[in-house]
Amino acid sequence: MTDKAQAPRTGDRIAKVIARAGVASRRDAERLIADGHVTVNGKLIDSPALNVTEKDKITVKGELLAEPDAPRVWLYYKPTGLVTSARDEKGRDTVFDNLPEGMPRVMSVGRLDLNSEGLLLLTNDGALKRQMELPSTGWLRRYRVRVNGRPKDENFEPLRKGITVEGERFQPMQVTLDRQQGANAWLTIAIREGKNREIRRAMSAIGFEVNRLLRVSYGPFQIGSLKAGEVEELKSRVVRDQLGLDGADEKPTVTRRRKPGLKSGTHGKKPTRSQPAAQRADAGAGSQKASAGKRPDRRSKNAPPRKPTRR
């Protein structure tokens, strides 16, 4: 009998391998393949439906694919005025133009729009990026939001139930009215999807305009005392614990860097260096006295308990 059962294919999909090497996201890797920029063992491929192993020789745009580094994650305080893109057709400054020297090639986990600020996760691993972006992770993205006007708590019921804006459905949001400050009100809003300008569009749909938006957490990761333009790398133990990756126990530590000369990008009064980010948001709105005392609870009642990410 000459027919034999075919052994199961081993290895990983090539787009996943390219993403793990930090060359591109998995989706962008598939585009590179479709555009004829990828070879395997000297042969040009045109489909991502291929498994490869460490024995295969892979090139992307003529460059040999390096062995993937261990997954790494950084916390970055994105200032306003920067585009979350590798390049901008309008010539505007990007997040990646303003990272500290010595940073490896990284990708952002999701985006913050030009006029938004706060916590942006960065990673060298395309597959990990995709994993952290998926709504199925169930991770809350929490924001401090300032709106113009004098809203009442009941004004936000449509957002808590879920709202459709211009034909696009937004999932229910957690909305807390923290306090009124002159002509503006401060809110804490938590969402799980993070669609394009979701909070701004949803608030506009119920009659309020956002004039400041600061992301303070993304899943278990907190902005803490980071200042605009600063970057912290999380210890591998933290990355493994929070993302379910295997590894040995280590104590979580971080390294902090800031690109010299980067402007804060915050509005209003200059924040004090000793204040945490959410307090500095209040300081930027002219409430230094309030932020020096007790701060409003920025966590919604239904928020999961925080997990420590660094010390």
Residues classed as catalytic: 113
203 burial level (CB within 10 Å; 0-12, 13-18, 19+): buried
* H-state helical runs in the chain: 14-20, 26-34, 126-133, 157-161, 198-205, 236-243, 277-284, 288-292
Q: Among 54, 74, 62, 80, which residue's Cα sits nearest to residue 128?
A: 74
C-alpha 267/C-alpha 273 separation (Å) is 15
C-alpha 272/C-alpha 282 separation (Å) is 11
Task: Judge whether 189 and 173 are in contact, CB under 8 Å.
Answer: yes
- For strands 163-165 and 168-170, give the pairing: antiparallel
Q: What is the dihedral of CA 242, 245, 246, 247, to 10 degrees?
A: -60
C-alpha 46/C-alpha 61 separation (Å) is 13
C-alpha 37/C-alpha 44 separation (Å) is 8
| Neighbouring C-beta atoms of residue 52, cutoff 10 Å | 21
For the chain, the farthest-separated pair of C-alpha atoms sits apart, in whole angstroms, at: 86
Task: Judge whether 93 and 83 are in contact, CB under 8 Å.
Answer: yes
C-alpha 270/C-alpha 13 separation (Å) is 49
